[in-house]
Amino acid sequence: MKELIMSLSLVLICALPSHATDGDPVALGDSCLEMHDTFGALEHYGAALALDSSAAVVRKVARCHYMRGDYGRCVSTMLPVAGPGGDSLSLEQLRYVFDSYRQMGETAQVVTWGQAILRRCPMDGEVTAAVAQVYISDNAYSPNIGRNLAWSYLKRDSTCIPVLRQYADANFLLKDFDAAERAYLSLMELGDSTYNTIYSLGMTYMQTERDSLARLWLKRAAEKSGMKNAGCLYRLGIVCVDMNLADEGIMYLNLAFSLMLPDQRVAFVVKRALGEGYYKKGHYWSAIYAWEEALRYNRNSMATIFNTAQAYGLVGNDEKEKAFYRAFLSMAALAEPNEALDGMVRQAEAVVGGHEDFKGAIVGPPI
């Protein structure tokens, strides 16, 4: 048995790197890190810091914290030895700080450290895209800055998918839909068939009222999501209703509604759109039901109350027609007048039998 133990010990000693047997805690920590043993590495680096708190060892400790997902500690450890603008850090160490801030969602620091990386490596597509995304999505910045940053990169490399995505999204937000369309189509040509790209292309066509193309791409996006994205289904339903494809639109809107519950604000919007779809098909009772459901989520929608009154008139229910028109008129009396509203008021008063002074009171819809 003693011979077996001695043999195993000799094997283990021979298997260790020569520098790990000399008792140097930094070397021992490095050996652990090579094996991705960050726990052991931190123990050895801690011992090394007790003897010599050099910046080199501190950076090794910061790297361990990064690898362990302890991003706050990585940053707090690295910053004191980073130097002005990170000048004392290697590119890899800069990335640890940058990525840590990304993980923590500290967008201002993402910009600061991303710019430090780009000063050294202006063609780093991943960092360019990440910084551009902050400019585009954070209200503290402007999408135009993000677009310019992405475009500056794309002039040299037009095939970097992450940067091209940000360029496309920036153009969409800035309502330059022609440029957005070209960018999204370029992404598709490069093989980027992700949900976001397909959906964004569909939304671009929706914004430019090219309904047939919007329907095509929004339908593909809905299928890509497994028919589980309520926002996509809602917009697809709206496009179909606008194209007088009421049956299809109603189907998508019902799917969207089932996914959106219990969000009352969204439920109101979807039920209101469903009512419009049924109304266009001449299914007035279904429209009434949908609009009354919408009003249960928002009783103050004058347009929905007015539409419900119209539908009751078309099905011959004069009592409900007048009741909904009175509710509408009581609200309209408190609203800022305009040409469209004045026309609706005249139509409602013709049904109820003339002008009525509600004395500032609001009559609720009879639901």
Q: Provide φ and ψ at 36, rounded to 5°.
A: 60, 30
User: Is the predicted pLDDT of residue 345 greater than 80, yes or no?
Assistant: yes
Q: Is residue 17 scored above 60 in pLDDT? A: no
- Name the helix (H) or strand (E) containing 95: helix 91-104
Angle at 65 between CA 64 and CA 67, to 5 degrees: 65
Q: How far is CA 364 from the centre of its chain?
A: 37
Q: Any idea of the CA torsion for 31, 36, 42, 45, to the nearest 10 degrees?
A: 30
Q: Are the C-beta atoms of 259 and 230 separated by less than 8 Å? A: yes
| d(C-alpha 135, C-alpha 47), whole Å | 43
Helix axes 302-314, 318-332, angle to 10 degrees: 160
Measured CA to CA, the distance from residue 329 to residue 284 in angstroms comes to 22
Assess whether pLDDT exceeds 60 at residue 32: yes
Q: How many residues are there in the chain?
A: 367
| Mean pLDDT on 209-227 | 97
Residue showing tokens 């009171």:
361
Higher pLDDT, 193 or 3: 193
Answer yes or no: is pLDDT of 23 > 80: no
List, for residues 198-216, the tens digit of each pLDDT value: 999 999 999 999 999 999 9
Query: Per residue in 217-240, is it b (16+ CB within 10 Å) or e — as a string?
Result: bbbbbbebbeeebbebbbbbbbbb
Averaged pLDDT for residues 32-57: 90
SS3 364: coil
Residue 1 predicted with pLDDT over 70: no
Integer Cα distance of 63 and 60 in angstroms:
5
> Which pLDDT score, from 0 to 100, does residue 109 have?
96
pLDDT at 51: 86
Choose among 342, 288, 340, 293: nearest CA to 310. 288
Mean pLDDT of the chain: 90
State pLDDT tens for residues 53-81: 788 998 999 999 999 999 999 999 999 99
Roughly how many angstroms between the first and final C-alpha of the chain, as a whole number? 89
Burial tier of 281 (Cβ tally within 10 Å: 0-12, 13-18, 19+): middle
**pLDDT tens, 233-261?**
999 999 999 999 999 999 999 999 888 77
Residue whose entry in the numeric block shows the structure tokens 């799917």: 255
Contact between 259 and 233 (Cβ < 8 Å)? yes
Q: What is the pLDDT of residue 243?
A: 95
Cβ 207 vs Cβ 174: under 8 Å: no
For the chain, give the percent of residues with pLDDT over 90: 80
